[in-house]
């Protein structure tokens, strides 16, 4: 049985809360870039992270499931502020840290697993929020293998 999408989002939220890098972390049903930009206009507390479930793909015989999870992060600085770049980079590093594979010399990297779901950072992209808060969208791939046949 696969873990519910709501629980995947809550697992990511919990990991982000534990970093203490954000004043607020939310799970939101935002499914598009435009939706995230619109959401950015309502941000009163920063730094903030918003966890969104993206695409869901099933492998052969539906024995694996890969979910793309977006994390929109917003700094406490406006895009017009020169400090925004350093602030957003620091937040991105903090947000991805719980999901980064660990490396042990002489061994393959160990991919982070939370509740039997493997998480791997995939990409990042700056958000064009106009003169809104500086933002970036981070993408994680969450892969789960079901053991039921």
CATH number of the domain that residue 13 is part of: 3.30.70
**What is the domain range of residue 46?**
5-145
**What CA–CA distance (Å, rounded) separates 73 from 87?**
11
pLDDT at site 149: 46
CA distances from residue 138 to 56, 107, 110 in whole angstroms, order as listed: 17, 27, 20
pLDDT digits (tens, 9 = 90+) for 44-99: 677 889 999 989 999 888 788 999 999 999 887 776 677 778 888 999 999 999 99
90 in helix, strand or coil? Answer: helix
As for how many domains the chain has, the answer is: 1
- In terms of pTM, does the model score above 0.85? yes
Token output for 62:
């539906």
Q: Which residues contact 143 (CB under 8 A, 6 or more apart)?
A: 64, 65, 66, 67, 117, 118, 120
pLDDT at site 41: 64
Per-residue pLDDT for 107 more than 80? yes
């Amino acid at each position: 049985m696969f873990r519910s999408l709501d629980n995947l989002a809550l697992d990511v939220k919990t990991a982000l809360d534990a970093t203490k890098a954000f004043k607020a972390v939310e799970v939101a049903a935002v499914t598009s870039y435009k939706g995230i930009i619109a959401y950015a206009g309502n941000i009163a507390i920063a730094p903030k992270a918003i966890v969104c479930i993206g695409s869901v793909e099933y492998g052969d015989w539906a024995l694996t499931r890969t979910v793309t999870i977006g994390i929109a992060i917003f700094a406490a600085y406006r895009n017009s502020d020169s400090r925004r770049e350093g602030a957003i980079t620091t937040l991105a590093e903090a947000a991805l840290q719980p999901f980064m594979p660990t490396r042990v010399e002489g061994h393959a990297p160990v991919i982070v697993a939370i509740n039997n779901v493997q998480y791997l950072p995939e990409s990042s992209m700056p958000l064009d929020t106009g003169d809104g808060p500086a933002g970036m969208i981070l993408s994680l791939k969450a892969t789960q293998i079901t053991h039921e046949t």
